[in-house]
Chains A and B, each alone.
Chain A
Amino acid sequence: MTTELFRQKTGRYICGLSAPSEKRQIQTWLSCTEHKQQVSQEERENIENEIVAQVQAYVVSTLFEPKPESWWKKITAFF
């Protein structure tokens, strides 16, 4: 399979326009979980901490700077 064909195939899959066989092929590939990388516990914790820290930074920022409430939320709160 060429990269161009692969690009078109993934594009169709994202848009939900792929043929059933293409869809099945991509879903089967996504379900293949044989390859597993061996990572040390320390490295694993580092990765985990890094991702969680980034997520938490975003979460805290949203709590301190809340978005303006939408009109439908104001109406539901009123009732």
Chain B
Amino acid sequence: MRRNFTPDQTLIDKLLLDDTTAFEELSRRYCYPLYSYCMSKLNSKEDSKRIVRNIFIALWESRSTLPVDFSISVHLYTEVRKAVVQCINIKLNKAIDVEAIEKEIIPGFSVAELNKAKIPIHINESNNRPSFVKKRNYEKLQQYKYSAFTLKELKHSLQKMLNFW
């Protein structure tokens, strides 16, 4: 299928008309990010694929009852998080892959691992900025520095003059 740049909202509106092409575009758009997220949490290809598939099927089923202010990204984000926890719980209830959960998932709940979520994303701007921008900013800084210095000097000289008078 040829990819297009139609906004999400337009594609969602088309779902009401049972437009399978619009739905395919939507599922292609969000399929891999969801799969990748599930993989990072569950480390299981089969479970990840099943979760993503079920989320899209549920979205298709509820296409006629979607709210007016429906945001697909928020919906998918909420659903995938819910599905990941449900999948782990089902596995533990049925005693499937308990060892894998113990070794791969439970360590993620340690304080050190959870603290990583609180660390803000740090982008080193000085490395990404082009050289001419750096130069321009440096010149601007120098200019401000000198202008501040001269103003200070002017103030002192005026004070001296006033004292003299």
Q: Which chain A residues have a beta carbon within 8 Å of chain B's beta carbons?
A: 1, 3, 6-7, 10-11, 13-14, 25-37, 39, 44, 47-48, 50-52, 54-56, 58-60, 62-63
Contacts of A11 in B (CB 8 A): 89, 93
Within 8 A of A (CB), among B1-39: 18, 20, 23-24, 27-28, 31-32, 35-37, 39
Evaluate contact between B56 and A3: CB separation under 8 angstroms.
no
Within 8 A of A (CB), among B73-96: 81-82, 84-86, 88-89, 92-93
Given A44-B32, A47-B35, A56-B24: A32 in contact with B60 (beta carbons within 8 A): no
Contacts of B27 in A (CB 8 A): 51-52, 55-56
A3 to B109, CA, bound (A): 12
Evaluate contact between B24 and A52: CB separation under 8 angstroms.
yes
Which of the residues B23, B40, B93 comes within 8 Å of A59, measured between beta carbons?
B23
Evaluate contact between A51 and B20: CB separation under 8 angstroms.
no
Evaluate contact between B41 and A30: CB separation under 8 angstroms.
yes
A45 to chain B, nearest CB (A): 9
Evaluate contact between A25 and B84: CB separation under 8 angstroms.
no
Contacts of B37 in A (CB 8 A): 33
A51 to B56, CA, bound (A): 10
Evaluate contact between B53 and A51: CB separation under 8 angstroms.
yes
Evaluate contact between A30 and B85: CB separation under 8 angstroms.
yes
B76 to chain A, nearest CB (A): 13
Query: Which residue of chain A lies nearest to B99 when distances are taken between CB atoms in the complex?
Result: A3
A43 to chain B, nearest CB (A): 10
A3 to B98, CA, bound (A): 7
A33 to B18, CA, bound (A): 34
